[in-house]
């Protein structure tokens, strides 16, 4: 499942369970529509605590979506996850799309304050990895 919500800081995206290439394609298309009116400098909170590793086709589509967010002016992003496997996958994808400089990762199983730290990174620039 994929869900996009508008927030004060920008957008909250939830990726959960198994996300197919078709679902990822729908997310990319929905993102393009939403971002058509986005104001540069927005932030993105990504909750993927229950996401399973993505297949190759879904990964390519995710990269396309990440590039779209970058091109439309994303300032910062935070990814909330539960496993190092997912973290490794998304660190690599962020490097490939050029968003790694301002993307941070929080493992919710190791930090009970993950939501506040994520929002603080987006809204105040307080790095949760330091």
**CATH assignment of the domain containing 67:** 3.30.750.24
- Residue 129 lies inside a defined structural domain of this protein: no
Taking the C-alpha atoms of residue 19 and residue 78, their distance in angstroms, rounded to an integer, is 19
Per-residue model confidence as pLDDT tens digits over 54-111: 999 999 999 999 999 999 999 999 999 998 888 888 888 888 888 888 899 999 999 9
Taking the C-alpha atoms of residue 102 and residue 18, their distance in angstroms, rounded to an integer, is 26
Quick one: pLDDT at residue 82? 94
Task: Give the structural domain span for 65.
Answer: 2-124
- Residue 16 lies inside a defined structural domain of this protein: yes
- Residue 7 lies inside a defined structural domain of this protein: yes
- Residue 130 lies inside a defined structural domain of this protein: no
- Residue 58 lies inside a defined structural domain of this protein: yes
Domains identified in the chain, total number:
1
Quick one: pLDDT at residue 95? 86
| Backbone Cα Rg of the chain | 13
Q: Taking all residues of the chain, what is their mean pLDDT, rounded to a whole number?
A: 93
Q: Which residue spans within 16-89 are E strands per DSSP?
A: 43-47, 76-81
Taking the C-alpha atoms of residue 9 and residue 52, their distance in angstroms, rounded to an integer, is 27
pLDDT of 118 over the 90 cut: yes
């Amino acid at each position: 499942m994929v869900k996009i919500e508008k927030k004060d800081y920008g957008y909250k995206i939830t990726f959960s369970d198994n996300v197919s290439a078709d679902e990822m394609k729908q997310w990319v298309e929905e993102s393009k529509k939403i971002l058509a009116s986005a104001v540069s400098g927005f932030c993105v909170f990504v909750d993927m605590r229950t996401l399973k590793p993505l297949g190759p086709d879904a990964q390519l589509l995710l990269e396309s979506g990440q590039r779209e967010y970058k091109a439309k002016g994303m300032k910062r992003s935070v990814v909330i996850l539960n496993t190092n496997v997912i973290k490794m996958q998304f660190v690599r994808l962020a490097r490939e799309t050029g968003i790694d400089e301002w993307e941070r990762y929080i493992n919710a199983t190791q930090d009970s304050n993950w939501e506040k730290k994520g929002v603080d990174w987006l809204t105040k620039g307080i790095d949760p990895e330091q």
